Chain A
Amino acid sequence: MKKLFIILLAVTAFSCQEKGTESANEANTESTREIKDYLSQYKPYPMDFDATSYNETDRTILKKLVEASEYLDTIYWLQTSKYGLHLRDSLAAIKDKNQSTKDLLTLVNRNGGPFELLNGYKTFIGNQTYYPGDELYPMA
């Protein structure tokens, strides 16, 4: 777990400090395999929607509903893992993401936080351990 925290800090710093990624990659072979194992549980599946056959009003309706859903999404993250939200945004903000950054971002998004839901809430990134009640109750 600690190793992955290092990789995150390193890749977060990547934009301003070039050599960060190298040391992170060396330090993280083992954890990278863990990430790959978790990712291999999920089959990427394209789900495309073509809205072009709808008239303008309907498209506006759908766009607004999608936009409303984005706000709702933020509420979900605030309910679930503020730290996870921070991790997600830090990973997403990295320019020219390498594969392990992309993989981490995929996993953080798929789990709504730093804990692997299909594997008993095991931490896969960062230094927190799962706490029941998420952000709905006081942490301590």
Chain B
Amino acid sequence: MTAQQFDDYVKTLPEEEQVEFMYPYTVIREDGNGGYEAIRYHVEYEKYITPIVKLLNEVADLTDNESFAKFLRLKAEALTTDNYYDADVAWIDMKDNKFDMVFGPFETYSDGIKGVKAKYEAYVEIIDQKASEDLKKYTSYLSKMEEHLPIPQEYKSDASGLTATFVVVNDIIRKGEGTVGYQAVATNLPNDPEVHATKGTKKTFWKNMLKARFNGIIIPVSNRLIEESQLKYLSDEGFFQFVLMHEICHAIGPRVVKVGPNKGMAANASIGPNYNALEECKADVTGLYQLAYLMDEGVVDKSRREEFYVSFLGSLFRSIRFGLDEAHGKAAAISLSYMLANGGILYDEATNKWSIDFDNFEEGVKNLDGELLILEGNGDNVKVQEFFDQWTKETPALASAMKATEDLPIDVLPVRSIKWE
């Protein structure tokens, strides 16, 4: 079936049926009379849903954590109706449990016809209490971080109402869509806009996968491209800290245009397709800028400064491998090329090695961050495109970096084992 056939057929249907055809949790089948029907997942996959429901309810009986039990029962029910709202809300509301899970149909990006059908994925997780507490400490600084941004007052937003639910976990297994493609290190769920409007979302960090990515992919790339005297600063904990700040900093900065003819418009709508790469770069650089702030405030251990910055540099060499047409690749190119030209990052052409210029790095971060935030706040894609033309070019230095690492693995292959007794 093509998207065109789907659209042509759906057009002929009454509105309620159209909704079912576009619903994330239905499959489309031939109806035997030359037409099509939309069948809910719980009907199509009943044979497997039934034992899942039984198991989730059994776990609900076993746990002494009420919020977890409530979530499990609502999730079990949702899987038999394909209405997930209540289960999603209960998931965000879970409190003080040892375990967490992402479980059910969520992501729609592998639906190559309409991009609306969700695939099932499962992550069984142990909550990292200490890291989750630290994260709460950082997010309590959201307003202060917004105020501290290196931009004029008219570009700043009111961040006082910002609430975000974050949880740091280690997953013990992944199943379904969680096992295929690039292994995710963080996710922001659910995808239901109704839940967004009433409850917001919950951001999950998979700390063990983050470490796997760092040790399995970023270290080998860094060993080839980072100057030897700085390799000792590479650390998975340092990388983890940086990634936390990256995610937190998606929440601050201009989300609507602050100045100029598009004032008041959503920044992503105003800028268009370039927004993704710009926002990724902004989250990287603002993350570093605020990390320095939190170190100065004594919230984060400042003796780890070198660790954070060199681990960040290593991660850029992983990202540019996705190419300068892809959002993360573009974002990495901007950081590397801008700070190479304006201070903060050094490159030795003779050895093809990169390093952090510790004396100038924080100043370089501040300057770049100001430019990125103002581009978002102006919402003018012409300016954004000019900036990209200047800093996402495939320079000889970037080309050498990509060439030097092209034979290295690009993602991890988790080899799992669980010791039960």
Interface residues of A, Cβ cutoff 8 Å to B:
40-52, 57-76, 78-80, 106, 109-112, 117-118, 131-140
Contacts and interface: CB of A to CB of B under 8 A. Distances in A.
Contact of B180 (A44, A111, A135): A111
8 contacts: A40-B409, A69-B122, A71-B49, A78-B48, A111-B181, A133-B111, A136-B27, A137-B28
Nearest to B113: A133
Contact of A110 (B55, B119, B409, B413): B413
A47 B416 contact: yes
Contact of B48 (A62, A72, A131): A72
Contact of B179 (A48, A51, A68, A112): A112
A115 B101 CA distance: 28
B350 interface: no
A139 B29 CA distance: 9
Nearest to A68: B55
Given A47-B416, A106-B413, A69 B98 contact: no
A62 B413 contact: no
B48 A135 contact: no
B81 interface: no
A50 B110 CA distance: 33
Interface of B: 1, 6, 27-30, 36, 41, 45, 48-49, 51-52, 55-56, 58-59, 62-63, 98-99, 101, 103-104, 110-113, 117, 119-122, 124, 126, 170, 172-173, 175-177, 179-182, 208-209, 212, 215-217, 220, 407, 409-421
Nearest to A74: B48
A132 B113 contact: yes
A69 B417 CA distance: 15
A65 B417 contact: no
Given A52-B421, A59-B420, A71-B52, A79 B120 contact: yes
B394 to A, nearest CB: 21
Given A45-B412, A47-B417, A138-B29, 8 more contacts: A43-B220, A45-B413, A47-B209, A65-B55, A67-B55, A110-B413, A112-B177, A138-B30
Nearest to A140: B1
Contacts of A111: 180-181
Contacts of B29: 138
Nearest to A130: B112
B43 to A, nearest CB: 12
Contact of B52 (A50, A61, A72): A72
B180 A45 contact: no
B121 A76 contact: yes
Contact of A137 (B62, B113, B172, B412): B113
Closest 6 pairs (CB-CB, A-B)? A132-B112, A76-B176, A43-B409, A42-B413, A69-B122, A133-B113
B52 to A, nearest CB: 5
Among B101, B111, B407, residue most surrounded by chain A Cβ atoms (within 10 Å): B111
B172 A68 contact: no
Contacts of B27: 79, 135-137
A80 B215 CA distance: 31
